[in-house]
Structure 1
Amino acid sequence: MFSAVPRFAKIAAIVVLAAASSFASFSDADARRAGSSGFGSRGTRTFDTPAITRTAPTQAAPIDRTMTPQTQTATQPPINAQPRPGLFGGFGGSMIGGLIAGGLLGMLIGHGFGGGFGFLGMLLQIGLIIAAISFAMRFFANRQRTNYAASAPGTSYNTNSMNASQRPSFSIPPIGGSAANAKPAARQANDEIGLKQPDLERFEQLLTKIQTAYGSEDYATLRQLSTPEAMSYLAEELGENATNGVRNSVSDVRLLQGDIAEAWREDSAEYATLAMRYSSIDAMVDRTTGKLVDGDDRNPSETTEIWTFVRRPGSDWKLSAIQGTGPHGA
């Protein structure tokens, strides 16, 4: 009975079951944290990798959910590189054209391709022609590759990215630390703004407020503390949780360590990208019963992420982008 089921029906059933399994499974890391990707905007540096810091010694995940258009540079051949002829271009095309023209001329005067040897002679001539053309094509192709390799430019290295990990970083005091115990901040080389201690304290406050608002699904607070673009992605994640019948509970957020990766001015706005390692009680619970679905609702876990804030004239800092620092955003 089952053998009579068409093959495409079996394949369709497998696809449906796989899709159902993927929708049924989720994790708190994918729901809220950037994980192996990122979202938001860093202005003209959206697709650039932030500088490596002590807090985030690994490369940040790229931003793959953004409204910032990515400019694509057209790939152009090197100036000294000669255009590569096609299969029948250049000398090979001229040879083939000459041989064909000669054969046609022989046919017109009564000799044909075979000359005086008939059909067998024609086959012999065709074979010799093909062998000669193949030899000529290989010879000139090897010669062109040799010339191109000799004229190729040398490999260059970006010294800015190599020196990024050697630059000193600002340190954000942990929650509860007093100003008297805090060490004086050292100016980072790529801090073009000159961020002050009040800015660092504000970033710490935004981390706690945004995470808490996310855990309580406080859309009004999230809208106040983030840009419209970042808010749209946060709202999208919250909507997906609601569709799955769960809620991402986040509490007891504490900043453990933080460094400034980049700070720069762009048009009339100021951007600041920071690496922040924080602890929080992060769990996925059932929206109706409150039963634990994933994560740990009692013990805190640590997370390291790259957060970017933006400030425009007359306004406060707002969350602009979040990037993970590893496969699991930790």
Structure 2
Amino acid sequence: MRIKSLFRLPDLATVARVGAAAVIVAGSLIAVVPDADARAGGGRSMGSRGARTWSAPAPTPTSPSAQTMQRSATQPGATTTNPAATAGTAAAARQGGFFNRPGFMGGLMGGLLGAGLFGLLMGGGFFSGLGSLAGILGLLLQIALIFIVVRLVMGWLASRNRPATAQGPQPGAPLARDMFGGGSAPGSNGAAAGRSGFASRPRGRPLQLQGADFDAFERRLGEVQDAYSRDDRAALSQLMTPEMADYVGEELDGYAQDGLQNRLSDVKLLQGDLSEAWSEDGRDYATVAMRYQLKDTLIERATGRLVQGDPDRLESVVEFWTFTRPAGGGEWTVTAIQQGG
């Protein structure tokens, strides 16, 4: 009997009380639970990757996919790869309005409107052209059912005709690299970089990387997290592009306003591999997937009290970091961070 009672339909007063309680509980949870990802980037995807900002990075063994950008100074329309789809979306938005919809619903509503106007012209009222009120309701019910069936069939046909989404590494995808920094980095000949697979990637010329470049990527990972932990804006402005420095600066400002400080330590790269490397408009770009570990905590600035995290627990993170430099050489700086899929 107790189980059956769970399926009884509650009265409106009960629903209102439960809904109000749920809203209060949810609000309290939002108020007391801080951001679960307090490292640089805040567990979000942000920055720019040149003309590839809105293109998915090539999959790697470290991470088969990356989240799309959530914040970027690069406008999506500037690098769209499907102008026809964009034009179609814009055209649909311009049409708007229920009666302006083409296809089945447009013809249906036009027919009903025409029948009503015909009844008015004949002197029998707006709905006389369709018969009695009962007949109208019956007709509308049948039309609604037919419309639902047609939509379901069309959706099924569209899903059958839609090309399948590619899964896993594509032909010519970059070769896996284990901990490209440290002793496991490749030699200076860059054998795993600049492969012919990059030639099929859109926008930009293939770029060949050296072992020293991968050492720099690992070094930048630790330097960025260390500067973020110390709230060192000057160091961050040297390690990141102005866009990324502004984003992480906003995060640090938010913690400061709340009287909090992010403490990061024991950052260590566990595995990394190259996703893409290319040159465009006088700059080099390299996107690498990295799996690394760190200790991540939030403390109160005034008292040092632990607010979030465990100072003795190592957390594992998978992200795509994109670095840029002047074409042909110079220091690599972080220009984008994307969460691994």
1:89 and 2:114 matched: no
Q: In the aligned structure 1, how far is the partner of 2:139 from the partner of 2:316? A: 65
2:246 counterpart residue number: 232
CA change 1:315–1:185 in 2 (3 A) is: closer
CA RMSD, 1 decimal:
4.4
> Does the CA contact (< 8 Å) of 1:306 and 1:323 recur in 2?
yes
What letter corresponds to residue 40 of structure 1 in structure 2? G
TM-score (norm 2): 0.67
1:53 maps to: 60
Identify the range of structure 1 (215-224 vs 278-287) with the bigger mean alpha-carbon deviation.
Answer: 278-287
What is the deviation of 1:275? 0.6
Deviation at 1:16, TM superposition (A): 9.1
Contact 2:47 2:69 in 1 (8 A): yes
CA contact (8 A) 2:63 2:318 kept: yes
Question: Relative to 1, partners in 2 of residues 1:32 and 1:253: Cα closer, same or farther, differing over 3 Å?
Answer: same
The separation in 1 between residues aligned to 2:189 and 2:288, in whole angstroms, is: 18
Contact 2:178–2:184 under 8 Å retained in 1: no
Unaligned runs of 5+ in 2: 1-18, 78-85, 93-100, 200-205
Q: Tell me the residue number matched to 2:308.
A: 294
Match for 1:239: what amino acid? D
Q: Could you tell me which residue of structure 2 aligns to residue 127 of structure 1?
A: 132
Which residue of the partner structure matches residue 169 of structure 1?
A: 175
Q: Residue 175 and residue 51 in structure 1: after superposition, are their counterparts in 2 closer, same or farther (change >3 A)?
A: closer
- Contact 1:172/1:201 (<8 A) preserved: no
1:29-178 equivalences in 2 (<5 Å): 29-30=37-38, 32-35=40-43, 37-57=44-64, 59-71=65-77, 73-75=87-89, 83-84=103-104, 85-87=106-108, 89=110, 97-98=117-118, 100-101=120-121, 103-104=122-123, 126-127=131-132, 134=139, 154-157=161-164, 163-164=169-170, 167-171=173-177, 173=179, 176-177=182-183
Displacement after TM superposition at 1:171 (Å): 1.4
| Residue 198 of structure 2: aligned partner | 190
Q: Which residue of 2 aligns with 1:267?
A: 281
Highest Rg: 1 or 2?
Answer: 1
Q: Letter of the aligned partner of 2:37 in structure 1?
A: A
Cα offset for 1:183? 12
SS of 1:29 mapped into structure 2 = coil
Secondary structure at the counterpart of residue 293 of structure 1: strand
**1:252–1:281 CA contact under 8 A, matched in 2:** yes
| Aligned length in residues | 288
Is the deviation greater in 276-285 or in 181-190? 181-190
Q: Which residue identity lines up with residue 317 of structure 1 in the other structure?
A: W
2: distance between equivalents of 1:128 and 1:291?
72
Kindly provide the amino acid, as one letter, of the partner of residue 89 in structure 1: G
- Corresponding residue for 1:318? 333
| Alpha-carbon distance in 2 for matches of 1:250, 1:26 | 16
Write out aligned runs for 1:203-214 (5 A). 203-214=217-228
Q: Over residues 167-192 of structure 1, what are the superposed CA-to-partner deviations in whole Å (9 max), with x where a residue is unaligned?
A: 34241546542669999853452372
2:322: which partner in 1? 308
Deviations 1:250-280 (A, max 9, x none): 2222211101112223332222111101122
**Larger RCO: Structure 1 or Structure 2 (Cα < 8 Å, ≥ 6 residues apart)?**
1
| Counterpart-to-counterpart distance in 2, 1:96 and 1:27 | 58
Contact 1:28/1:248, CA 8 A, preserved across alignment: no
Q: Distance in 2 between matches of 1:323 and 1:87?
A: 47
* TM-score for both structures, normalised by structure 1: 0.69
Deviation, 1:233, is 1.1
3-state SS of the aligned residue for 1:298?
coil
Deviation at 1:294, TM superposition (A): 2.0
Cα distance, 1:55 vs. partner? 0.9
* Alpha-carbon distance in structure 1 between the residues aligned to 2:186 and 2:162: 50
Residues 114-148 of structure 1: CA deviation (Å, up to 9, x unaligned): xxxxxxxxx899439966x949x95xx87xx69x9
Query: Deviation string for 1:145-167 (max 9, x for gaps)?
Result: 69x959979322465x6643883
Contact 2:174 2:275 in 1 (8 A): no
Structure 1: segments with no counterpart, 5+ residues: 1-10, 105-111, 114-122
Which structure 2 residues correspond to residues 19-34 of structure 1 after superposition, within 5 A? 22-27=30-35, 29-30=37-38, 32-34=40-42
- Asked if the contact 1:170–1:185 (Cα under 8 Å) also holds between the matched residues in 2, the reply is no
SS of the counterpart of 1:164? Answer: coil
Counterparts of 2:63 and 2:256 in 1: how far apart (Å)?
Answer: 32
**1:285 Cα deviation after fit:** 2.4
Identify if the C-alpha distance between structure 1 residues 126 and 64 changes in structure 2 by more than 3 Å, giving closer, same or farther.
same
Q: In terms of mean alpha carbon deviation, does 81-90 or 207-216 score higher? A: 81-90
Percent of matched pairs sharing the same residue: 33
| CA distance, structure 2, for counterparts of residue 96 and residue 181 of structure 1 | 80
Letter in 2 for 1:127: S
